[in-house]
Amino acid sequence: MIAPGESSHPDKNPIKNKEFDASQHPVMGVDSHLPFVSPDKLQVNYLREVFKKPLNGLPESFGDYSRLDSRIDPSQQVPASVLFGIVERSKPSVLLTQRSAKLRKHSGQIAFAGGRVDREDASEVETALREAKEEIGLDSHFVEIMGVMPKYLTGTGYLVTPVVGLISPHMSLELNEHEVTEVFEVPLEFLMNPAHHRRHSRELDGRSREWFSMPYKDAEQERFIWGVTAGIIRNFYHFLIKN
């Protein structure tokens, strides 16, 4: 299984393949001037209603800005899906994973459960559910699919469909330790407050690459959420503000 953002071909150059530590990169700005999502919009019943009709407006971010130009053909990118899982608690939370340090790329990073679309998958929704089952042992009967968000292009050529689903708090999980070392929850209220959305930028191969980070400190440690995961969360914030 290859997660979004992970190449299917090993890099022959070990120096080129060195991981970039985003947590050490300077913060260019924090979006505390933007409105936070009101508490009533974070309730499960409201979220169900939102996804019963088409989402208003375009996403704030279509993906990795360094790849968004006329040379990119979306149909030639690798299709993938992730499960944007919202745990149905009195104060809803988002289910995230810590990727294994054993993985060749993006090891130790925070991500949604998900991966590339298999030929046998009937839909992008099926891909997200299958990957969640393979990675964290989440059975589909614990998930109520609400809908999908617009696709997100990663810097490594994956076109990711975020599948939004409500997860029962009574879920049973069994981690695939080769891929995932930990599963944890972040309050939806925290993620939907742009005062926690930090902006970063760096030059890469003559292009400006921009991304968000949303560090969250729980009882265990600080969770550095960034990149594709943070970008998809930011789009979810954008849609809740607009809808």
Ranges of each domain in the chain: 30-64+77-196+227-242
Whose tokens are 């690798």? That residue is 78
11 with 17: CB under 8 angstroms?
A: yes
Give the total residue count for the chain. Answer: 243
Q: Are 114 and 81 in contact (CB under 8 A)?
A: yes
φ/ψ of 4, rounded to 5, equals: -55, 130
For 30-64+77-196+227-242, CATH gives: 3.90.79.10
> What is the rounded distance in angstroms from the CA atom of residue 151 to the CA atom of residue 154?
10
Confidence bin at 106 (pLDDT 50/70/90): low
Contact 85, 149 (CB under 8 A): no
Distance CA 91, CA 97 (A): 19
Tokens of 82: 């992730």
Region 79-106: mean pLDDT is 88
If we measure between CA atoms, which residue out of 221, 1, 231, 210 comes closest to residue 98? 221
Report the 3 state secondary structure along 169-199. Answer: CCCCCCCCCCCEEEEEEEEHHHHCCHHHCEE
* Kind and range of the H or E run holding 233: helix 227-242
Contact 83, 201 (CB under 8 A): no
Mean pLDDT of 160-174: 97
pLDDT for 181 equals 93
Q: What is the pLDDT of residues 172-186, one digit of tens each?
A: 999 998 889 999 999
Written as one string, the DSSP assignment of 98-141 is EE-TTSSSSTT-EE-EEEEPPTT-SSHHHHHHHHHHHHH---GG
Is pLDDT at 6 greater than 50 in this prediction? no
The amino acid at 52: K
pLDDT at 65: 60
The pair of structure tokens assigned to 243 is: 């809808």
What local confidence, expressed as pLDDT, does residue 107 receive?
A: 55
Instruction: Evaluate if residue 143 carries a pLDDT over 60.
Output: yes
Question: How are the residues of the chain apportioned to helix, strand and coil, as percentages rounded to the nearest 5?
Answer: 25, 30, 45
Q: For 36-87, what is each residue's pLDDT tens digit?
A: 999 999 999 999 999 998 888 888 887 876 566 656 777 788 999 999 999 9
Q: Are 104 and 7 in contact (CB under 8 A)?
A: no
pTM: 0.87
